[in-house]
Chains A and B, each alone.
Chain A
Amino acid sequence: MTDLETFQKETRAWLEANCPPEMRAPMMSEDDTCWGGRNVVFKSPAQKQWLEVMAAKGWTVPDWPVAYGGGGLSAEETKALRAEMAKLGCRSPLSSFGIWMLGPALLKFGTEEQKTHYLPQIARGEIRWCQGYSEPGSGSDLVSLQTFGEDKGDHWVVNGQKVWTSYADKADWIFCLVRTDKNDKYRGISFLLFDMTTPGVTTKPIKLISGASPFCETFFDNVKVPKHQIVGELNRGWDVAKYLLGHEREMISGGGLGEGMASIGAAFKDVAGEEPVLRAEMALFDIETMVFRAHSERFMDEWKTGRAHPAYSNLMKYIGTELNKKRHELVMSAGGSDALEWESDRSKQGARPRTWLRTKANSIEGGTSEVMLNVVSKRILDMPGA
């Protein structure tokens, strides 16, 4: 038996022994997600136990170094672990912007001190992070951001406003793009970290068309940020931000395409059987889902071995988000008038239409589809022009 096969076998045995049965059932709604943080409220004892055993093994972040709370696994082992988890239906023990976005950026740009301080907290789910990027006047044109950090010697005083800050009202810390030089658009932005309980930070949830408020407006009024809380060099935060957006795109592109959603036609068999045109659309959609999974697998395999084009995640983000929107259009069609109910218990308080509406943001947040196509066309296809 090869080392990898041995690892696979041992991993399967360990998961069978340690993953509580409740954590092997498919997630029913966004509520079932465990986000961790200082004020975490576990939905069940099983959820807490699952996070603890996985964190103890370093498997909330299997491919991070052991010294920073990770599992120290190779790319092959990480893939094998995820495959075994998928086979048993194990839920992800921890969802976290710290894992998906800040962590990879810290691993690349952070000082040793920052890595040993922040990364283990992220791995154990102790600190919940949010992302301060977009501003009211800076959406797709993010680099025009105005939030300003004034140099006060050993600290900056930050003033300004962010918008679309995911779960800012529930987060413990923020990673934030702040202008530190007004004279240079690209090389005048720094990447700062600060505690959301710092005096001067306030948040206000934004109510969306789905009725939910996963995003906030976040205001900074003379917020004091010590100088050692900068990641990367002064005025070079755009490099960190770009790197991190790559990881965000990977995450969003995979949204809603878990193993549980193998075939939309199989999930709505009765309607598909009665409506040949809908059945045909579902069949083509099932194929696109298979294609996207294979494409993601190939992209991840190439990415981890240095074969992928650095801008490729933009393409995956575009394809994955457009696909997820299409999925929920079909789910709504299959549901007919039942899927219109917004408040009834029967509809779980309108879970379907609210999710459908939520997915419309997929191709806007983290870079719009149009911006993704611009990037692919210029950076990968090398099309001419500005």
Chain B
Amino acid sequence: MGLYHTEDQAMLKDTVAPFLAETAPVKHLRTLRDTNDQIGFARDLWKQFAEMGFTGILVPESDGGLGMGHVEAGIVLEEIGRNLTPSPFLTTAVAAVEALKGAGAHLRQEWFPRIVSGDAVIGLAIDEGAKHRPAATALVAERSGNGFRLSGKKQFVVHGHVADMLIVAARTAGAAGEEQGITLFAVPRDAAGLSLAADRLVDSQLAARVTLENVEVTADAVIGDVDGGWGPLTRLLDAGRIGAAAEMVGVGGGAMDMTFTYLKQRKQFGQLIGEFQALQHRAAHLYGEMEGARSIVLKAQHLMDDEDPRAELFVAAAKVKSGLACNLSVREGVQMHGGIGMTDEYDIGLYMKRDRALAEFFGDTHFHADRVARMNGY
């Protein structure tokens, strides 16, 4: 199969792109922000995602979904990125769905239909410190009767305050820093002992800090195997990483297009600034970086959908490259817009803010470059 979108995938893009450009352009984000919305996204839009079939893209057909792959999910995410659309799509319909694929029948039956219908939002309670370091999971889950009792803290739980369920990474054995001994739990948000406090982030999203104090769950809440949560956690994270990478291709691409349009309109010294070779070369270089990012993201999506063992390495590389390219795009964007690039009125700054949040989400470039080195044996 060629490394480009198939006809069906191109058709999906032709559906998603105009839909989001019309219903949730950057203005939609501004409205939520300026009205001090406390949910973090528009619930009716999330319902529309379900009606369009987007929420079921990664859900297996046998569980009531469309059984499609990460290329298709990435098409939706790129447009979400391009429009800076606030949405639980990445956490709920991508990362959480990937984790639930490895869950028992009862969890699948409980959550897949509600995700597909746009009635559920799921929070990812993974990070415990300011930097993404999943092996350092220390939140404790002790045996209690035939279930578990969880205590500890989590942060950067995007949309966590309005989630119906949290997927919590907890330590059931071993020590912080070890991959062995982690267990994944599906914890209902209304569980006794669970408290949340949401904060608005730089990109106007709401993310929660979560405290669990002796939260009791049954053995049915375990996703995958006890002490063997690293496998499903990695699948969840890799789905989140390639999804965030696809979203950054959209964020970087949106910022780039806006900047190139500006270069062709703005006049100084009696000519269009896009005529200056100094800017032309930087524009061409940026285009090349974004195209490289697009290529490695698509390659990694193909490998994930083929369940190729190289997927983990390529997803890490894709998260790094999309991060570098998107960051270059928003920095060049603000610089080339000049003074107005610093104003709240212009959208380019919103792209810079979104890039910063996505850079940290599921591990930044430094974290993943280090993983690439380790996977390559040094």
Interface residue ranges, A against B (CB under 8 Å)? 262-263, 265-266, 268-269, 272-273, 279-280, 282-284, 286-288, 290-292, 294-295, 297-299, 301-302, 305, 307, 315, 318-319, 370, 372-374, 376-378, 380-385
Flag if A384 contacts B292 (CB, 8 Å).
Answer: no
A245 vs chain B, min Cβ distance (A): 17
Contacts of A286 in B (CB 8 A): 317, 372-373, 376
Contacts of B295 in A (CB 8 A): 291, 294-295, 297-299
Nearest residue (CB) in B for A290 is B317
CA A376 to CA B286, docked complex, whole Å = 11
Flag if A279 contacts B373 (CB, 8 Å).
Answer: yes
Flag if A380 contacts B287 (CB, 8 Å).
Answer: yes
Nearest residue (CB) in B for A297 is B3
CA A193 to CA B73, docked complex, whole Å = 53
Flag if B373 contacts A383 (CB, 8 Å).
Answer: no
Contacts of B28 in A (CB 8 A): none
Q: Given A286-B372, A383-B274, is A266 in contact with B377 using a C-beta cutoff of 8 Å?
A: yes
Flag if B292 contacts A319 (CB, 8 Å).
Answer: yes
Q: Is B291 an interface residue (CB 8 A)?
A: yes
Flag if B369 contacts A298 (CB, 8 Å).
Answer: no
- Identify which of A298, A319, A380 gathers the most chain B CB atoms within 10 Å of its CB: A298
Q: Is B338 an interface residue (CB 8 A)?
A: no
Q: Is B260 an interface residue (CB 8 A)?
A: yes
Flag if A376 contacts B288 (CB, 8 Å).
Answer: yes
CA A283 to CA B378, docked complex, whole Å = 9
The A-contacting residues of B in range 119-147, CB under 8 angstroms, are none
CA A265 to CA B271, docked complex, whole Å = 47
Q: Given A286-B373, A305-B2, A381-B287, is A295 in contact with B296 using a C-beta cutoff of 8 Å?
A: yes
Interface size of B in residues (CB-CB distance below 8 Å): 38
A276 vs chain B, min Cβ distance (A): 10
Q: Given A291-B292, A297-B3, A383-B280, is A280 in contact with B369 using a C-beta cutoff of 8 Å?
A: yes
Pick the contact of A301 from B2, B288, B321, B370 — CB < 8 Å?
B2
Interface residue ranges, B against A (CB under 8 Å)? 2-4, 260, 263-264, 271-272, 274-275, 277, 280-281, 283-285, 287-288, 291-296, 298-299, 313-314, 317, 320-321, 369-370, 372-373, 376-378
Q: Given A265-B373, A384-B264, A384-B272, is A290 in contact with B296 using a C-beta cutoff of 8 Å?
A: yes
Flag if B378 contacts A265 (CB, 8 Å).
Answer: yes
- Identify which of A290, A305, A381 gathers the most chain B CB atoms within 10 Å of its CB: A290
Contacts of B292 in A (CB 8 A): 288, 291-292, 294-295, 319
A253 vs chain B, min Cβ distance (A): 11
Pick the contact of A273 from B288, B298, B376, B378 — CB < 8 Å?
B378
CA A291 to CA B320, docked complex, whole Å = 10
CA A372 to CA B350, docked complex, whole Å = 32
CA A269 to CA B295, docked complex, whole Å = 28
Flag if B281 contacts A287 (CB, 8 Å).
Answer: no
Nearest residue (CB) in A for B300 is A294
Flag if A263 contacts B377 (CB, 8 Å).
Answer: yes
Contacts of A380 in B (CB 8 A): 284, 287
Q: Given A263-B377, A287-B317, A374-B277, is A297 in contact with B291 using a C-beta cutoff of 8 Å?
A: no
B75 vs chain A, min Cβ distance (A): 16
Contacts of B263 in A (CB 8 A): 383
Contacts of A372 in B (CB 8 A): 284
Contacts of B280 in A (CB 8 A): 373-374, 377-378, 381, 383, 385
CA A263 to CA B369, docked complex, whole Å = 13
CA A373 to CA B279, docked complex, whole Å = 11
CA A254 to CA B343, docked complex, whole Å = 43
Contacts of B4 in A (CB 8 A): 298, 301-302, 305, 307
Contacts of A295 in B (CB 8 A): 291-292, 295-296
B73 vs chain A, min Cβ distance (A): 19
CA A34 to CA B296, docked complex, whole Å = 33
Pick the contact of A315 from B287, B298, B313 — CB < 8 Å?
B287
Contacts of B288 in A (CB 8 A): 315, 318-319, 376
B283 vs chain A, min Cβ distance (A): 6
CA A373 to CA B281, docked complex, whole Å = 5
CA A334 to CA B229, docked complex, whole Å = 39
Contacts of B294 in A (CB 8 A): 298
Contacts of A383 in B (CB 8 A): 260, 263-264, 274-275, 280, 283
